[in-house]
């Protein structure tokens, strides 16, 4: 059955869990500026050669951006932990199985 919109009438069980504290616009703009800065840094590696550091540095920046977006823009940080759990199971499994599969091709050896 459809359950979604009941919290206005039956707030006693829905409120709190359903309405997490969501920050103001200005906060998101700040986050976006950080993201933009990171992207600029990432892109700069195209011109500034970091040699062996490039790959780890890029991976770290990618990870930071990734989590900033899902935690803040997608509200995982503020929302019910169940959402995080569902998503992280998928993400974790994906990373695990594909890394193992690639390693059987000696992908990480080179």
Total of chain residues touching other proteins, rule CB under 8 A: 66
**Site membership for other proteins, residue 109 (CB under 8 A):** no
Q: Residue 79 gets which letter from DSSP?
A: S
Sign of CA dihedral 56, 60, 65, 67: positive
Minimal distance, residue 26 CB to other proteins, in Å: 10
Minimal distance, residue 64 CB to other proteins, in Å: 10
Residue of 96, 87, 45 lying closest to 66 (CA atoms): 87
Minimal distance, residue 54 CB to other proteins, in Å: 7
Q: Residue 15 gets which letter from DSSP?
A: T
**Site membership for other proteins, residue 41 (CB under 8 A):** no
Residue of 35, 89, 95 lying closest to 66 (CA atoms): 35
Residues 5-24 that bind other proteins (CB under 8 A): 5-7, 9-10, 12-14, 16-18, 22, 24
């Amino acid at each position: 059955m459809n359950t979604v919109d009941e919290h206005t009438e039956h707030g006693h069980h829905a409120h709190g869990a359903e309405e997490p504290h969501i920050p103001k616009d200005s906060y998101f703009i700040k986050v976006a500026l950080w993201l933009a800065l990171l992207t600029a840094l990432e892109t700069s590696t195209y011109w500034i050669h970091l040699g062996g550091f490039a790959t780890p540095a890029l991976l770290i920046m990618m990870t930071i951006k990734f989590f900033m977006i899902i935690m803040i823009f997608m509200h995982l940080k503020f929302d019910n932990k169940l959402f995080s759990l569902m998503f992280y199971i998928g993400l974790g499994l994906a990373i695990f199985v594909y890394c193992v599969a690639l390693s059987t091709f000696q992908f990480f050896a080179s």
